Amino acid sequence: MMEGKDRQVPDFSIAKDLRHDGSIKWMQPEGREDVLGMGTADLDFDCPGCIRDVFRPITESNIYNYRYKPDEYYDAIISFFRRRYGFEIGRDWISNIPGTIAAVCIAIRKFSSEGDYVLMHAPYFTPLKNTIEGSGRRFLVNPLVLRGDRYEIDFEDFERKIKEYHPAIFLLINPQNPTGRVFTQEELERIVDICAENGVRIISDEVHSLIVYGGHRHIPILSVSEEARRISIQIFSFSKGFNTMSLPHGLILIADKVMQREWHDYLMPYNFHYASNSFAIASVTAVAGGAGDRWLEALTGYLEGNRDHFISEVRRIGLPIVPLAPEAGYIMWIDCRNAGIPYDTLGERFLDDAGISLNNGLEHGEEGRGFIRLNFAVTRQCLDEALQRMSRMFGKA
């Protein structure tokens, strides 16, 4: 297991020019070079130095053969959950798939049948809707309710939909994308109780859980209760927190012995256990073992500052938009219903008039109508530039 903390914390006020390095977020429209990339959910910052350090021996050996996962890999993941959540997981709970959406897809196919309903909160992350429907399952929504500046679960609708449609799976996204909600122990217990009483399995996608802001605490689904461990599959990745999206490595945790056997039997033909990416294994071992803890703490502080700065500046300038403070992650869900812009053209207007590439809320379902999704994991200088452009766009400059 790797010990110690990474001392190579970068200056988050500095970022490379990512417009021409293959970055999806910073891809420039044809004929333009000035667009700010604030859509796709990744970071603009260098990864912690511990990741580069563990890559060096691999590249120097220049051998990329079939490799098993060493004991250090499993020990690091177990220590991560113990250190961060005070929660003890078993080695036999752990498996991996190269990609979290692929993990969701395979879990849906294993633990439901074609034509079954899969329930999910809305607004939603569209690739997961596509995953459900592309698997031959029927997509069903439980709309979150905006009360003041915070989204809440409509449990009456949640339970009614489960009793009426009998979904095989509830796909929980926690922290929620795109609203940034971190669900409480009480909310999770109620979800588990309703699902358990009605024979519904839970797949919990927890990829945005590494960056959580003051006053909030992420609770892994498997730590909620014994009943949660009986019916739940937990999917997790270190990529959103440490910016290793191009080293896809989805972790799947299953506590129930029967589900474990069914899952491993189903995975056998995919051969994921045999052909592992040596760079992904090394990076996960490093950050899970604690070598990136100091970096992640510094990043979280910087992003919380960005979040609060953006909200306060929008209010100070008097922009006709209302950013909702996320409790986790680095996605800002922004209410533009009083901005005087047709809802279906919000994305185009911010791109054409302000040179900002972001996501129209309609990409997240009808519940996103009138909203936009903006990634604030950029330098403060970039964030201020975006605010200035919005000021000119709305005639406030």
What is the percentage of the chain residues whose pLDDT exceeds 90?
91
Question: pLDDT band at residue 11, thresholds of 50, 70 and 90?
Answer: confident
Neighbours of 156 (CB within 10 A): 9
- Domains belonging to the chain, first-starting first, are 62-288 (3.40.640.10)
Mean pLDDT on 52-66: 94
Q: Is the pLDDT of residue 355 over 70?
A: yes
Percent residues over pLDDT 70 in the chain: 98
Mean pLDDT of 21-50: 94
Weakest mean pLDDT among 3-12, 145-154, 263-272, 381-390: 3-12
Rounded CA gap, 13 and 254, in Å?
39
Average pLDDT over residues 308-325: 98
* Cα 68 to Cα 97: distance, rounded to the nearest angstrom: 14
DSSP codes, 157-173: HHHHHHHHH--SEEEEE
Mean predicted lDDT score pLDDT of the chain: 95
Can you tell me the distance from the alpha carbon of 22 to that of 237, in angstroms, rounded to the nearest whole number?
22
How much is the pLDDT for 182? 98
Q: How far apart are CA 201 and CA 355, in angstroms?
A: 43
What does pTM read for this prediction? 0.95
DSSP secondary structure string for all residues of 243-297:
T-TTS--EEEE---HHHHHHHHHHHGGG-TTTS--HHHHHHHHHHHTTTTHHHHH
pLDDT of 40 strictly over 80:
yes
Residue 216: band (very low, low, confident or very high) from pLDDT cuts 50, 70, 90? very high
Is the backbone of residue 223 left (phi > 0), alpha (psi -120 to 50) or beta? Answer: alpha
Q: What's the pLDDT score for residue 8?
A: 60
Look at residue 3 and tell me whether its pLDDT is greater than 70: no
**Count H helices, E strands: the chain?**
13, 15
Mean pLDDT value of segment 189-205: 98
Q: What is the mean pLDDT of residues 112-124?
A: 98
Confidence of residue 270 (pLDDT cuts 50, 70, 90): confident
Count CB-CB contacts under 10 A for residue 96.
Answer: 23
Question: According to the model, what pLDDT value does residue 78 have?
Answer: 98
- In this model, does residue 70 exceed pLDDT 70? yes
Mean pLDDT of 256-271: 94
pLDDT value of residue 117:
98
Instruction: Return d(Cα 361, Cα 178) in angstroms, integer.
Output: 9
Q: What is the mean pLDDT of residues 84-102?
A: 96
Please, what is the end-to-end C-alpha distance for the chain in angstroms?
54
| Residue-level pLDDT at 6 | 45
